[in-house]
Structure 1
Amino acid sequence: MIRSVTMRRGEIVLRSDFEQMGSQSQISRIFSDFVKEGRLVRLGHGVFAKARISSLTGKPVPREPLEVLAEETLRRLHIDAQPGQAQRDYASGKSTQVPVQSTFNTGCRRISRKLILGNHTIRYENNYRARS
C-alpha cells in the first residue's frame, strides 16, 4: 500500500482507489495509520493528500495548498467546478479585494462534501435555485 500511494500521480489519494485491495474498514484502518505516521493528511471523507513534514512545526502538512488539492479532488470525483465569483472578479481586475476563502462554483450541482484542512474550509457556490 505504501508503494502504491507514493507512486500514484497527483497529490490526492481517494479511499475508493483501493477498493479492490480489501474491505472499507481495512483500507480505512491503513489510511488512519498513514495519517498517524505523517504520510497522508485527511481532507474529508475518503479524501487524503500526500504529506511532508513541515520545517517550522515538525508536523505533517500537504505538499500543495488547499485550493490546488480541492481542484484536483473535484476533478477526480468528476465534478465540474470553476473558481468562485470572488476569485474570478479578482483575477479579471473587477475587484481589488483579495478573496480570503476558497470558493468553487459547481453550476447546477449541489455538493455536500466537505474539504477541510486545519481551520480552512472549501466553500461551494451554485446556481441550483436558478434552475427551473
Structure 2
Amino acid sequence: MNMVDRIKRSVANRNADVFVRADFKPFGSPAQVSRALADLQREGALVKLGLGVYAKAKRSVLSGKPIPVKPLEVLAPEVLKKLGVEVGASRQTREYNAGGSTQVPAGIVVSVGKQRIQRKLGFNGKLVDYERT
C-alpha cells in the first residue's frame, strides 16, 4: 500500500474534518507527505484551506468540483483551535444574537482575543477575517 492510500484511509477514518500537515508526520518525510497531499487534492479527497491546512472534500452538485464537507464558517474555528488559538464569536455576531442589532453579520469573522494571526484561511475566494479585542 502506497502513502497516498495510507493517508486517504487515515483521513476517512478520522472524525475531524480539518487537518494540518503535522497530522501526517508519521507517514514519511515532508516531501513524501507533500506529494501525497497534492495527489489527494487532485483526486478530490481533500481541499486546501491555507498553508498546510486541509479539509475533507465532497463533489459539488452544481459544478462537480471538490468543495469542503462543511462550510468555511464551521471549519475555520476548528482549524484555529487545532493551531492553539482561542476562538470566539465576533462583536457583530454577539450583538445580533443578543438582540441588540438587526443587522445580520456578513462575511466570516472570528474573534481571536489579543492574539495576532497572520495565517490566511479561505476557500474559493472567501477568506476568514480575524477580530482582535
- TM-score normalised by length of structure 1: 0.92
| Identity value in percent | 43
Does residue 42 of structure 1 match 2:48? yes
Counterpart in the other structure of 1:98: 104
Amino acid at match of 1:27: V
Q: CA deviation at 1:48?
A: 0.5
| Contact in 2 for aligned 1:84/1:102 (Cα 8 Å) | no
Q: CA deviation at 1:55?
A: 1.1
Unpaired stretches in structure 2, ≥5 consecutive residues: 1-6
Counterpart in the other structure of 2:95: 89
Deviations 1:41-78 (A, max 9, x none): 10001110100011111111111010100011111112
Does residue 62 of structure 1 match 2:68? yes
In structure 2, how many angstroms separate the alpha carbons of the residues matched to 1:77 and 1:49? 14
1:17 maps to which of 13, 18, 23: 23
In structure 2, how many angstroms separate the alpha carbons of the residues matched to 1:93 and 1:24? 49
1:5 maps to which of 11, 31, 35: 11
Counterpart in the other structure of 2:3: none
In structure 1, how many angstroms separate the alpha carbons of the residues matched to 2:43 and 2:65? 10
| Contact in 2 for aligned 1:40/1:50 (Cα 8 Å) | yes
Amino acid at match of 2:31: S
Give the match's secondary structure for 1:31: helix
- TM-score normalised by length of structure 2: 0.91
Give the match's secondary structure for 1:122: strand
In structure 2, how many angstroms separate the alpha carbons of the residues matched to 1:97 and 1:78? 31
In structure 1, how many angstroms separate the alpha carbons of the residues matched to 2:76 and 2:18? 9
Counterpart in the other structure of 1:78: 84
Number of aligned residue pairs: give it: 127
Quote the RMSD (CA, aligned, Å).
1.0
In structure 1, how many angstroms separate the alpha carbons of the residues matched to 2:62 and 2:107? 24
Amino acid at match of 1:45: L
Q: CA deviation at 1:11?
A: 0.5
Unpaired stretches in structure 1, ≥5 consecutive residues: 128-132
